[in-house]
Amino acid sequence: MSILPTIAILGAGSMGGAILSGLLAPSITVDGGIRVTNRTEAKAAALRSDAVTSYALENDPGANVTAVKGARIVLIGVKPAMVPDLLRTIGPALAEDAIVVSVAAGVTIATMEALIPQVVLRAMPNTPALVGRGVTGVSPGSRATPEDVALALTLFDTVGQVLEIPESKIDALSTISGSGPAYVFYLIEQLTKTAVALGFTWQEAATMVNGTFLGAAELLEASGEDPSELRRRVTSPRGTTERAIWELEKADLSAVFDRATAAALERARELSTG
């Protein structure tokens, strides 16, 4: 059982909504309740419940200010370009002890600390948070105490695993766990095409490939073994898998991933500098 103080989620889109789902788990208690904001009444209405006070900006342009009053944790889930103006808007209404956590890529702690005097943290969750299997990197700002960081870690622990890292690593983390699901989906996509080329239907191919990726990931977690050891066990000497791995080795996938993550990191740094 985890207990968290009053939380406001400004911009409860896909990621904010995922975190909201985690907070509504039976094992989580939010003292003081949860407030969320969205642009439209349709989106706000879908989230409204006895446990969630949900505001629509189209009905009340000041909803973000209303939502943050008295909130101890304020999660910023709007698009990166909107963050500075949002902080200027809500700044006067924030409690002195509020902890402001942004999940916006490219908006630095220094930028946020220059706009508000409260504790600021950056977080980089990934999309598997939608099913409670996320990986989130959390970077504390200069004003954050260990207690503040612990609250932020507890918040993201509701949707998966959490790493506390310095901000200097958060862009690099985004290229691995942040973009990583897209890499996995791309590999699944390509292997599915290969299965179809071998004569299987799309449904048969999807069953084989999706099931294999899911099963392999669950086996990796359940076994506690290194992935290289699990690969070795599948790769019989002079067998079919060994021949396939040899072809993959010739493609130098390690170098491909190095180049891919380097490109993603370069783009992250471009976004951080505007």
Strands 134-140 and 160-164: parallel
Q: What percent of the chain has pLDDT over 70?
A: 100
pLDDT at 250: 95
Contact yes or no for 150/186 (Cβ under 8 A)? no
**Is residue 5 predicted with pLDDT exceeding 90?**
yes
- The torsion defined by the Cα of 142, 89, 30 and 125, in degrees rounded to 10, comes to -60
pLDDT at 209: 98
**Is residue 273 predicted with pLDDT exceeding 80?**
no
> Which option is the CATH number for 2-166: 3.20.20.70, 2.170.16.10, 3.40.50.300, 3.40.50.720?
3.40.50.720
Q: Measure the CA–CA gap between 82 and 79, rounded to whole angstroms.
A: 5
**Is residue 190 predicted with pLDDT exceeding 80?**
yes
Measuring CA to CA, which residue among 86, 127, 79 is closest to residue 105? 79
**Is residue 1 predicted with pLDDT exceeding 80?**
no
Q: Measure the CA–CA gap between 153 and 130, rounded to whole angstroms.
A: 17
pLDDT (mean) for 87-109: 96
pLDDT (mean) for 28-43: 94
Lowest mean pLDDT among 130-134, 193-197, 259-263: 130-134
- In sequence order, which residues have a C-beta less than 8 Å from that of residue 88 and are 6 or more positions away? 115
**Is residue 120 predicted with pLDDT exceeding 90?**
yes
Average pLDDT value over all residues in the chain: 95
Task: State which H helix or E strand residue 8 sits in.
Answer: strand 7-10
pLDDT (mean) for 65-80: 96
**Is residue 63 predicted with pLDDT exceeding 70?**
yes
**Is residue 245 predicted with pLDDT exceeding 90?**
yes
Q: At what angle do helices 146-157 and 14-23 cross, to 10 degrees?
A: 90
pLDDT at 274: 67
pLDDT at 186: 97
Q: Which residue has the tokens 């976004």?
A: 271
Give alpha helix (H) positions in the chain: 14-23, 41-47, 63-68, 83-90, 109-113, 146-157, 170-173, 180-197, 202-223, 227-234, 240-250, 253-272
**Is residue 226 predicted with pLDDT exceeding 70?**
yes
**Is residue 41 predicted with pLDDT exceeding 90?**
yes
pLDDT (mean) for 159-180: 95
CB atoms within 10 A of CB 27: 8
Name the pLDDT band for 106 (thresholds 50, 70, 90): confident
Please say whether the structural domain 180-272 has been given the CATH code 3.20.20.70: no
Domain ranges of the chain: 2-166, 180-272
Strands 99-102 and 119-124: parallel
Contact yes or no for 121/140 (Cβ under 8 A)? yes
